[in-house]
């Protein structure tokens, strides 16, 4: 116990009257914790007066000490001061400002007299800490009781209404303010603008804004932020333009709103130019926001340019830049920025490593993955749930489920995301039994699966082509009441198609009341896979008629269906209508489908011409489609050219050599076939299943 309290106790023990003891304790209030003063009170049984209690309560409020505040309140009740209106108000103030709304409301309900200050306190507390709905109900009680609100009370009411987001209630509050006759100054007007914006009515926000005799920068910022909140970038930029026309200088808040509403690199560059013109480019928080938004808009290069210009960076800035490369590439740049960050003395956090894990997952490089893992262990963050989940996902994407499983087994706490990550990892790597084993363990430990769990299991069954497993998973989905989930149903269609049951896939599709683009894409792909090209095209037109707009995946399915059914004219028509009618730019996958379509139909010269003229660089699958057509039609010369280009792209892909060997065998070119087989042996290439050579 402190010397001051002991001295105070000695004064009380010598029989000093209460006034002397209280004055000493008042002095201690400013130097000691409220708990220490209360301890002295409890030891000596001293009864304090109301002013002293109010001093103690003010100290509790200043230090935000709820526990001490409750003890002081208990003393007040025990000593019979609870009926004192001023003391009750002090208790109410303490609870309100400490954010303890439950106790505040109890005190408020027991107050026999409630003055304007009490109402102001409780309304302000609900506006800052509480439920907007409960606080607004309190306003209605005040209104029904005929209490006349002042400007400060309306500030709280308007704030609650903004959080409530109810336009009709907002209109009612505005009408109450108009009827009250109070002076609506700039501060209240700005809050009314904010209220209407949060209630989704920029029309009413403009009415308040236009009625203001004088508008300050806060008024303009509130309007711009309101337009941004409602997703109207054009309106936000229009307001910014008018703000400049009225010679109102934008500030940090103005530009933060404009940066956050940008949806394109062009718009963001314009905002950044304005930031430089305003002399705010050195603001670290604003520059970090610009870096983050360039990343979101897909330009890691522009983000890096701003990043390199920054004189002051914090961990958020570094993380934003690392995230940019982790998402958009080049992925190894994320690792380089991380190393630079450490060289400059910044300590990585969980967000840093989560971004690095995503970069390594996209790289699919086990070497880099283990390097990052070692850094996480060194930083002692491997037990962090989000980091551990990220490590599992990274290792699975690097095709090392062994490493992922080691992380999983070491986790002391797992979320459903942890289980789902492991199940999906096994599914992606074709380890069907292991995925099922994890699901069984998950159920055994009482963890409830979700839609993502089942989509992972469906993927595992599809990759295994196990119809028995597929139907088993389907029964578990029904038992868990997830059959109506559109993601699960889409997964069921794809799974049944890959497991050889088009009938089951069609049944799931026909039973669906709600369908999205993924649903139609899955069904079109399934029909095309089984040679029902015209049925696939019918599904395409059904999708269009329901208002669902096709995407790139849709046209891969359509072109593939045409290819498998020999619908050359239809396939060409759909290929050229992609960009013309649906604004879908043909990508490598679409060109590969076109090559396959022409090649299967025997138009090998035309197919090769498509490959040679395609704007993108052909990938292995493109040459693979041409090589497959050569095998079908026995064109050895073209097969050799296609194989040469394919091996340049993927020298370790055994499929190239196997296909070429089969073409040589079919053409009775035994020496050439044996030479390919020898080359495979020299390069230590393996392929599951027989090659056809002895």
pLDDT (tens digit, 9 = 90+) per residue, 26-65?
Answer: 666 666 676 677 666 666 666 677 877 888 888 888 888 8
Tell me which DSSP letter residue 691 carries: -
639-673 exposure pattern, b = at least 16 Cβ within 10 A, e = fewer: bebbbebbbebeeebbebbbbbbbbbbeeeeeebb
pLDDT at 10: 38
334 neighbors 325 (Cβ within 8 angstroms): yes
Assign domain 414-514 to its CATH architecture: Alpha Horseshoe (1.25)
pLDDT at 24: 63
* pLDDT reading at 217 higher than 60: yes
Mean pLDDT in residue range 629-636 = 93
pLDDT at 685: 74
Residue written as token pair 């149903």: 489
pLDDT at 15: 37
Structure tokens that stand for 1 in this block: 């116990």
Structure tokens that stand for 510 in this block: 């026909």
Which H or E element spans position 556?
helix 552-565
Q: What is the DSSP string of 158-219?
A: HHHHHHHT-HHHHHHHHHHHHHHT----HHHHHHHHHHHHHTT-HHHHHHHHHH-SS--HHH
More confident: 253 or 71: 253
Confidence of residue 280 (pLDDT cuts 50, 70, 90): very high
Mean pLDDT in residue range 629-637 = 93
- What percent of the chain has a predicted confidence (pLDDT) above 70? 91
pLDDT at 131: 79
Extents of the domains making up the chain: 414-514
Mean pLDDT in residue range 170-189 = 91
Distance CA 512, CA 532 (A): 21
Confidence of residue 175 (pLDDT cuts 50, 70, 90): very high
More confident: 163 or 223: 223
* pLDDT reading at 128 higher than 90: no
Question: What's the mean per-residue pLDDT of the chain?
Answer: 89
Mean pLDDT in residue range 324-340 = 93
201-229 exposure pattern, b = at least 16 Cβ within 10 A, e = fewer: bbebbbebbeebeebeebbbbbbbbbbbb
511-562 pLDDT, tens digit per residue, is 999 999 999 999 999 999 999 999 999 999 999 999 999 999 999 999 999 9
Mean pLDDT in residue range 166-183 = 91
Structure tokens that stand for 173 in this block: 């509050």
409-437 pLDDT, tens digit per residue, is 999 999 999 999 999 999 999 999 999 99
294 neighbors 302 (Cβ within 8 angstroms): yes
pLDDT at 83: 66
Cα 237 → chain centroid: 26
Cα 200 → chain centroid: 23
Is-cis flag, bond preceding 537, omega within 30? no
Confidence of residue 16 (pLDDT cuts 50, 70, 90): very low
More confident: 201 or 110: 201
Cα 441 → chain centroid: 29
480-516 pLDDT, tens digit per residue, is 999 999 999 999 999 999 999 999 999 999 999 999 9
The contacts of residue 584 (CB under 8 Å, 6+ apart) are 550, 551, 552, 554, 555, 578
* pLDDT reading at 194 higher than 70: yes
Q: If we measure between CA atoms, which residue out of 532, 582, 515 comes closest to residue 552? A: 582
């Amino acid at each position: 116990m402190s010397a001051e309290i002991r001295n105070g106790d000695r004064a009380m023990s010598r029989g000093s009257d209460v006034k002397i003891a209280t004055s000493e304790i008042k002095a201690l209030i400013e130097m000691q914790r409220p708990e220490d003063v209360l301890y002295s009170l409890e030891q000596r049984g001293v009864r304090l007066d109301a002013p002293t209690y109010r001093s103690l309560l003010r100290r509790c409020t200043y230090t935000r000490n709820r526990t001490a505040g409750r003890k002081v309140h208990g003393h007040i009740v025990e000593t019979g001061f609870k009926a004192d209106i001023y003391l009750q108000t002090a208790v109410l103030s303490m609870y309100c400002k400490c954010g303890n709304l439950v106790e505040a409301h109890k005190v408020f309900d027991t107050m026999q007299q409630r003055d304007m200050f009490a109402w102001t306190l409780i309304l302000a507390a609900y506006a800052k800490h509480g439920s907007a709905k409960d606080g607004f109900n309190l306003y209605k009680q005040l209104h029904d009781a005929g209490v006349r609100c002042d400007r400060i009370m309306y500030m709280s009411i308007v704030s609650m209404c903004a959080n409530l987001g109810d336009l009709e209630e907002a209109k009612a509050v505005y009408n109450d303010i108009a009827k009250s006759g109070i002076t609506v100054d700039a501060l209240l007007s700005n809050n009314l603008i904010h209220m209407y914006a949060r209630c989704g009515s920029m029309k009413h926000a403009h009415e308040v804004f236009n009625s203001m005799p004088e508008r300050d920068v806060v008024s303009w910022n509130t309007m711009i932020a309101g337009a941004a909140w409602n997703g109207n970038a054009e309106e936000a930029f229009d307001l910014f333009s008018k703000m400049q026309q009225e010679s109102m200088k934008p500030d940090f808040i103005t530009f933060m709103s404009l940066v956050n509403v940008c949806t394109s690199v062009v718009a963001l560059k314009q905002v950044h130019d304005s930031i430089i013109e305003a002399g705010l480019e050195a603001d670290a928080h604003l520059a970090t926001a610009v870096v983050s938004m360039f990343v979101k808009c897909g330009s890691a290069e522009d983000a890096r340019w701003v990043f390199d210009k920054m004189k002051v960076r914090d961990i958020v800035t570094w993380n934003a830049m690392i995230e940019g490369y982790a998402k958009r590439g080049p992925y190894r740049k994320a690792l380089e920025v991380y190393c630079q960050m450490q060289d400059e003395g910044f300590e990585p956090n969980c967000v840093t490593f989560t971004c690095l894990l995503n970069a390594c997952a996209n790289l699919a490089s086990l070497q880099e993955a283990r390097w990052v893992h070692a850094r996480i262990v060194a930083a002692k963050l491997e037990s962090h749930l989000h980091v551990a989940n990220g490590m599992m996902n990274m290792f699975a994407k690097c095709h090392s489920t062994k490493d992922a499983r080691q992380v999983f087994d070491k986790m002391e706490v797992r979320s459903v995301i942890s289980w789902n990550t492991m199940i999906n990892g096994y599914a992606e790597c074709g380890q069907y039994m292991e995925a099922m084993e994890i699901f069984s363990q998950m159920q055994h430990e009482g963890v409830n699966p979700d839609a993502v769990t089942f989509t992972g299991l469906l993927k595992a069954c599809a990759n295994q082509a196990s119809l028995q497993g597929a139907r088993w998973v389907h029964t578990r989905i029904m038992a868990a009441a997830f059959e109506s989930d559109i993601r699960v149903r889409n997964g069921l269609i794809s799974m049944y198609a890959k497991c050889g049951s088009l009938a089951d896939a069609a049944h799931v599709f026909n039973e669906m009341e709600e369908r999205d683009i993924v649903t139609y894409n899955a069904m079109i792909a399934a029909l095309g896979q089984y040679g029902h090209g015209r049925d696939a095209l019918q599904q395409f037109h059904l999708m269009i008629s329901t208002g669902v707009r096709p995407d790139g995946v849709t046209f891969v399915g359509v072109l593939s269906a045409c290819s498998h059914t020999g619908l050359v004219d239809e396939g060409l028509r759909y290929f050229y209508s992609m960009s013309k009618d649906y604004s879908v730019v043909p990508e490598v996958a679409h060109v590969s489908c076109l090559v396959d379509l022409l090649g299967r139909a025997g138009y090998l010269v035309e197919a090769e011409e498509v490959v040679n003229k395609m704007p993108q660089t052909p990938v292995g699958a493109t040459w693979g489609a041409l090589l497959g057509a050569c095998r079908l039609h026995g064109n050895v010369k073209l097969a050799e050219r296609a194989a040469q280009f394919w091996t340049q792209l993927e020298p370790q892909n055994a499929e190239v050599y196997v296909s070429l060997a089969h073409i040589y065998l079919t053409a009775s070119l035994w020496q050439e076939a044996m030479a390919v087989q020898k080359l495979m042996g020299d390069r230590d290439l393996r392929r599951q299943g027989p090659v056809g050579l002895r």
